[in-house]
Amino acid sequence: MRKKIIVGNWKMNKTPSETIGLINEIKEKNPAPDCDVVVCTPFVCLSNAVETAKGTNIKVGAQNLYFEDKGAYTGEVSADMLKDLGVEYVIIGHSERRQYFNETDITVNKKVIKALEKDLLPILCVGETLTDREQGVTDDVIRRQTKIAFLNVSKEDAKKVIIAYEPVWAIGTGKTATPEQANEVCAMIRDCIETLYDKDTADALRIQYGGSMNAGNAKELLSKPDIDGGLIGGAALKSDDFTTIIKSC
Ligand code: PGA
């Protein structure tokens, strides 16, 4: 049985002071569920997030990291810096990073390896564009993204990775994949992991769905056998919606 995991991706929203308020609201409404709960805040909010979430079941994640340990990389943030703050998770390869900040499958792979080496749990994002889907290459694109992301990752480490299947056309658009569409791709990703490693690894690894998941559609999506949680953008910024999604687990 895989434990479900609900992750809020705040993107470039909330100031450090607003972070305290939102996490306090989630804490108050959080029914101490039987699933993992993570909030991924902007870098500058992480310290307040860790402090405010201390002693609760809410864990804190970053939205990116750099794959070098230290040095002349102006503007970047290392895994050690995140660890030192008490951060436990990190989103890697979100489609917005791939689209606007030139992240490639290769840099995504380097970041996955660095996160695992430093004991941060990667939330690896994969997903097809609308053109990919319309041209019938969804499987090819996602298998490529997945296979390259796991290059040189050991079987033991692979199990720690959380994969977020996020169809690019569903992110922030209000268009959600149907539960059947989402489950089909999540099952395909699991099959890809089985091909790369083995059934044991594929069965252990958690695969989330992300893309306009909200308080209204979460329950049905989360009831599908291959969907082990959600990566939530817009709805993670409202404590009522986010905690309703948590309760849907
Ligand atoms: P959304 O974003 O829920 O606002 O569609 C999801 C994501 O990008 O992780």
Q: Is 51 designated active site?
A: no
The answer on pLDDT for 1 being more than 90 is no
pLDDT at 32: 67
The answer on pLDDT for 2 being more than 80 is yes
Give the number of C-alpha atoms closer than 13 A to the C-alpha of residue 223, restricted to the C-beta side: 8
How far, in Å, is the centroid of ligand 1 from the Cα of 113?
A: 24
How far, in Å, is the centroid of ligand 1 from the Cα of 72?
A: 32
Residues with CB under 6 A from ligand 1: 9, 166, 171-172, 210-213, 231-235
The answer on pLDDT for 65 being more than 70 is yes
Q: Is 18 designated active site?
A: no
| Sequence letter at residue 158 | A
Tell which residue, 166, 183, 150, has the closest CA to residue 99: 166
Give the pLDDT band of residue 172 (cuts 50, 70, 90): confident
User: How far apart are the C-alpha atoms of 227 and 164, rounded to whole Å?
Assistant: 9
Taking CA atoms, 47 is separated from 41, 54, 60, 141, in Å, by 10, 11, 9, 36
Taking CA atoms, 86 is separated from 48, 119, 200, 242, in Å, by 11, 11, 30, 22
Q: Among the options 28, 76, 94, 194, which is catalytic?
A: 94
pLDDT at 30: 80
How far, in Å, is the centroid of ligand 1 from the Cα of 114?
A: 25
CB-CB neighbours of 83 under 10 Å: 16
| 53 Cβ neighbours under 8 A, 6+ residues apart | 23, 27, 39, 59, 60
pLDDT at 110: 98
Q: Exposed, middle or buried, 224 (CB in 10 Å: 0-12/13-18/19+)?
A: middle
Across the strands, what pairs with 9? 40
The pTM for the full model equals 0.97
In ligand 1, the atom with minimum distance to the C-alpha of 96 is 8
What is the rounded average pLDDT of the residues 93-102? 97
pLDDT at 34: 85
Give the pLDDT band of residue 220 (cuts 50, 70, 90): very high
pLDDT at 20: 98
Give the pLDDT band of residue 176 (cuts 50, 70, 90): confident
The answer on pLDDT for 192 being more than 80 is yes
How far, in Å, is the centroid of ligand 1 from the Cα of 154?
A: 29
In ligand 1, the atom with minimum distance to the C-alpha of 234 is 4
